[in-house]
Structure 1
């Protein structure tokens, strides 16, 4: 049979066209917005970000420009860069949840960029940042999602501005998307596979009266426009420039083999409660976009921030889907971490429901199939779903891992079993639901809480700079200062603190599951004991890169750990360990006391030995896996470990020992000293050693 070859055209870049917002046509722009209860709709056009009044007002004709609950108007002659607001007239009836304000200038819920800031007001009218008409075209030069398997991921949580804004960063574009590009060589040298960016959705820089915020939301968990990258992180202040700069950053990170995960905040907005301003959603269809109390004048508040987004309403659910697809296909984002994701599990009445439509649909969405989806599986109203959030498409921030790892290394009695469970991948949480170890995003620190350095330097939080009399922030930190609160010039204490940092980073990077580091922990970044630096847009939060030079020993240690993890499938299996012996008597994991005997899991003792067998050829076709021996001593005294009899016939070489000083603390080439022939090894207090079978 004669086969005919079909000639294909060069691949075109896939983009996701939004059905709402400002849609660019051949000779103008279509503006589309949803409002069920509005009686009038207007489009306000501006020439400049500093305009306090529009240069043109266009009225939507309800007979010609309204289709059901959709208002749509085409304006010929407009170009990308055009500035605009919506304005809606309707009932102001808080008892029914309706909060229309005919004078309010409204941010388009689908705005792709904002420009300017809140302008000073003398007439009581709030003038928020202006929306920008954006052309999504960008030369991606063939860039695609990297599709790194999540089981092979090493995530690095960072704040775009804080990453390079300190004068020590040495970049030409500090505090910006372009500044991140300049630091890519460092990220690549560290070995991380993904950066998880704290919120880049638009959020307020100034308050609604145009004043500098008394306590700025530096972290960005105060969303104002879900489709728009934050203008404050753009170096070029031209309206819409943040769109191009953000795409340049993603493209450059991908070229370096680094994925981009966004921390998204679909649980609340900056409009706040009944006392908050009308900026967007409130002035278009308040009862649809927010969960309201039975007395509709008031807002349900599962976020702790004044309101809760009504994520399981069909209209809002559609918006969230379009938003996720917009970031994935127009910005090439590789994944999302959903802040306070348990709110997404609540129905329109606020009740937690099984198989919530939004959570289930995100996991099944075909346009999101290449992305990683990660839940912060709790909210501010008591829901705690760690281990039970979503299906096997969802991974979770494992808060249990954080607490158990901290407790063990602090030396809390009775934590040996908990540590073993977390080190093994948290099967107690994820195996019952049929989810793999990579469902657990393991972390010991995050943006929320102490840095790693502060975790071993402070017993108490020191948040007075936040202006809330030290009432804010978690009081239960599982931290220890080892005799001095804060910085010390005592070498013995500082050496012990460094050892503890190495212990926790080693545990994190050698655990089954997916590790997440926090930017700067690898060179002892400090927030001076502040464990809730959400409002600190200053040196408390910014990375001081001078610490990079001061802590090269620790950076070398972390680099070697990350590389070991990448090379050793033994510590990143895709299925749970069983502990079942194989044909030669070895189990994939075995636990022993310091004497090399069976562990008494009910004992308050802390030292423990973990023996990990290399994966089988079926599990590891590359044959790279090695047998790994871990000895952990979180007690306050030294401990002599006896190697289990089953392992004494092997030749063991040191990979790392946190009690030793650099360069003898870690051997990146796995060529460290052999285990003593006696089969015993002594570790001082608060230390950990790892050997690899040769």
Structure 2
């Protein structure tokens, strides 16, 4: 038998057919444009050069193949700086925006360098493209391929995670800085980081042709294939490519997957009042959804334009982009921002079976990746529960709203909260989907932090400079009597209890939990629920909070440990409420706080959920245990009578959100035994959980 010994450096790489293709003798520049009448590549020696040192004109007869322009330039290689430039029809009323003076970013650029240069002649000079060699020593690195059902996601911002001086890292605000904080994430126990946009975007927001307030979040893409230069430590052009790969490799070595938040719904070029930077100046009518006359941009993204993702050319670009990140950067998955736009055809109409959504799910080169949809857009499409098939998971916005309102004490939320706790079968059971199709979250980057959710009734966005008009007004939050920070210890303990309640609910629910950076240590944005432009301590992770709020950190760490070791909480099939084991016990059982079967016709009071251990087929290691969850979201203290049906089981306390530090969670299942009288008192707005002893 022939034995294979692959060299770790000679791993699979995905070659892009467009952009700057490096060869031994030079660089092949390849770009699509159907309507251009002339094409040029501008070559620069230095990042700060305002004018090119050489201009290469494409020959229409020899360098154009169909709608593809391709020219070879000998004697140059990796590190070369360039722009494209195209002549063609300029007729904005019909959707043509060619400008023979514009410096254009290559849609397939693998890296950008520098910043926008101030203009004195009306010409916008965007960051320069960098020719990149894809070679990197991955040392045998592969995707971790962790099942989605076993995943705990941590949404974070590369810069904000370590930019504060309190981080005490050597490379603050960068990909390398995130590497330095991997021990923290390992200690917390999360299994994946979901990075807010890291593909290139303007460091300052673009309004018209002006660069204004900081673009901190990064949801304004400028180059889909390029990692953001602003998160690199080195200022050498293209250094971000290697540093980003170092970060991914280090994450994998730490057992942590990397999921990218990708924004294929719009670009930073804006509407007809925005700048010509890339797509507009190459084939505007193809890359954007325009109105019937072509003179105005359809705005399903809320950001001025809508990327025409279901046009064959744009669709091809998106697939090349996803494959590029998966195979050249070893990315483990994607979260698609405003993914419902991918369900719109070239005219903006929602399609019942959108080809783009199906093709992403079926692409064999993406088969190892996690794909997660933000299943709505800014034009009213709300597809939570109906986006794609089993391959697609979704941010479950219904979970967020129901969990917030339940713990706030709103009426009529017991039934919906029970459904969310059990995996949202009302949304995902159809079409063969599974509980892990639900990405459960209570907070995300967009909105209040968890601490602010229990500290503010109203948003406080004055610092954004939009006179408070921005940000959602429906936050389902409460301040419990004082707006903002408080020195009243009883009030602060109530808020902490609510934080523990919501974190417990999140980590004990069927589905996939997502935690937001800093929620585990009470990070605050001072009531700002739309901190997209706040590149300062409003948004940054304050590392002093780790010590200050050690009690909550230890609690969340314990919850994650319980989840990771209990298949009872990570079902891959929906609960049925029917008997399933040798005891004749149903796979989920609901009771009132009086210990009686819950009356769903008249839901009120406390709620008890008994989750028996999974069947051997779903628990091959035999580590699953029965769990008993007790919820009191009422404003009154309640006495819970444990149901008769569980009297033969020995129970130990696992969680008490009203418990003091070190008495609030027992991840080793060594908590005190349940009261002998089978009565448990739960203070208002609190929960407890018990775990069954292992059978002899």
Structure 2 length-normalised TM:
0.98
Question: Matched residues in 2 for 1:678 and 1:110: separation?
Answer: 69
> How has the CA–CA distance of structure 1 residues 438 and 207 changed in structure 2, closer, same or farther, with 3 Å as cutoff?
closer
Aligned residues of 2:205 and 2:215 also touching (Cα < 8 A):
no
Q: Does 1:467 align with 2:472?
A: no
Hey, what's the Cα distance between the residues in 1 that align with 2:573 and 2:553?
A: 30
Instruction: Indicate whether 1:687 and 2:686 are aligned.
Output: yes
Are 1:77 and 2:50 an aligned pair?
A: no
Q: For 1:400, which of 398, 401, 407 is the aligned residue?
A: 398
- For 2:335, the equivalent position in structure 1 comes to 337
What is the DSSP-based 3-state SS (H/G/I as helix, E as strand, rest coil) of the residue aligned with 1:147? coil
| Helix, strand or coil at the partner of 1:127 | coil
- How much has 1:214 moved relative to structure 2? 3.0
| Aligned with residue 383 of structure 2, among 366, 373, 385 | 385
**Structure 1's 7 and 520: CA in aligned 2 closer, same or farther, altered over 3 A?**
closer
Tell me what 1:562 maps to. Answer: 560
Q: Mapping of 1:113-152 within 5 angstroms?
A: 113-152=111-150
* Structure 1 position 212, deviation (Å): 9.0
Residues 513 and 208 (structure 1), Cα distance of their counterparts in 2 relative to 1, 3 Å cut: closer
1:135-160 C-alpha deviation (Å, 9 max, x unpaired): 01000000000000000000000000
Question: In structure 2, how many angstroms separate the alpha carbons of the residues matched to 1:376 and 1:220?
Answer: 16
* Equivalent position to 1:320, from 318, 321, 325: 318
What is the aligned partner in structure 1 of residue 65 from structure 2? 67
Matched, 1:617 2:616: yes
Aligned to 2:545: 547
Provide the alpha-carbon RMSD of the alignment. 1.2
Alignment correspondent of 2:501 = 503
Q: Distance in 2 between matches of 1:212 and 1:119?
A: 11
SS in 2 for 1:433: helix
Provide closer, same or farther for how the CA distance between residues 363 and 656 of structure 1 changes in structure 2, counting only shifts above 3 A.
same
In the alignment, the residues of structure 1 paired with residue 421 and residue 6 of structure 2 have an alpha-carbon distance, to the nearest angstrom, of 50
Q: In structure 2, do the counterparts of structure 1 residues 327 and 89 end up closer, same or farther at CA, with 3 Å as the change threshold?
A: same
**Residue 634 (structure 1) aligned with residue 633 (structure 2):** yes
TM-score by structure 1 length? Answer: 0.98
Compute the displacement of 1:433 (Å): 2.3
**Residues 494 and 78 of structure 1: is their aligned pair in 2 closer, same or farther, counting only changes over 3 Å?**
same
Match of 1:107 in 2: 105
How many aligned positions are there?
A: 691
Residue 318 to residue 253, structure 1, CA distance change in 2 (3 Å): same
State the distance in 2 between where 1:606 and 1:661 align. Answer: 25
Identify the match of residue 447 of structure 2 among 444, 449, 461.
449
Q: Of residues 295, 306, 309 in structure 2, which corresponds to 1:308?
A: 306
Q: Deviations over 1:588-646 (max 9, x none)?
A: 10001110112122435241000000001111110000000000001111011111100
Mapped to 1, the partners of 2:205 and 2:513 lie a distance apart of 37
Q: Distance in 2 between matches of 1:506 and 1:527?
A: 22
Q: CA deviation at 1:675?
A: 0.7
Aligned partners of 1:165 and 1:563: how far apart in 2? 28
> Aligned partners of 1:638, 1:288: CA distance in 2, in Å?
62
| 8 Å contact from structure 1 (residues 30, 74) kept in 2 | yes
Note the residue ranges of structure 1 that are not aligned, 5 or more in a row: none
Mapped contact 1:291–1:348 kept (Cα < 8 A):
yes
Partner SS, residue 374 of structure 1: strand
Change over 3 Å in CA distance of 1:150–1:9 after alignment to 2:
closer
Residues 193, 259 of structure 1: 8 Å contact kept? yes
The corresponding residue for 2:646 is 647
Is the deviation greater in 202-211 or in 618-627? 202-211
Aligned pairs for 1:518-537 (under 5 A) are 518-537=516-535
Partners of 1:120 and 1:209 within 8 A in 2:
no
Contact 2:209/2:275 (CA < 8 Å) preserved in 1? no
Tell me whether 676-685 or 593-602 shows the greater mean CA deviation. Answer: 593-602
* Alignment counterpart, residue 434 of structure 2, candidates 436, 439, 462: 436
Deviates more, 1:641-650 or 1:209-218: 209-218
| 1:531-568 CA distance string (max 9 Å, x none) | 00001000000011111110111111111100100000
Q: Is the 8 A contact 1:118 1:208 kept in 2?
A: no
Instruction: Give the 4+ runs in structure 1 shifted more than 4 A.
Output: 6-9, 207-213
Q: Structure 2 matches for 1:99-498, cutoff 5 A?
A: 99-206=97-204, 213-498=211-496
SS of match in other structure, 2:432: coil
SS at match of 1:311: coil
| Contact kept? 2:155, 2:516, Cα under 8 Å | yes
Change (3 A) 1:498 1:208: closer
Cα distance change on mapping 1:606 and 1:32 into 2, 3 Å: farther
Q: 1:434, CA displacement in angstroms?
A: 1.5
Alpha-carbon deviation of 1:409?
0.3
Q: Deviations over 1:139-185 (max 9, x none)?
A: 00000000000000000000000000011011011100010000000
Distance apart, 1:586 and its partner CA: 1.1
Q: Give the 3-state SS of the residue equivalent to 1:618 in structure 2.
A: helix
CA distance in 1, matches of 2:468, 2:394: 30
Q: Deviations over 1:100-153 (max 9, x none)?
A: 001000000000000001000000000000000000100000000000000000
Tell me whether 1:669 sits opposite 2:668 in the alignment. Answer: yes
Shift in alpha-carbon separation, 1:314–1:610, aligned structure 2, 3 A? same
Partner residue of 1:596? Answer: 595
Q: Distance in 1 between matches of 2:179 and 2:450?
A: 25
Whether the 8 Å CA contact 2:446–2:530 is kept in 1: the answer is yes
Q: Deviations over 1:298-322 (max 9, x none)?
A: 0000000000000000000000000
CA distance in 2, matches of 1:456, 1:594: 25
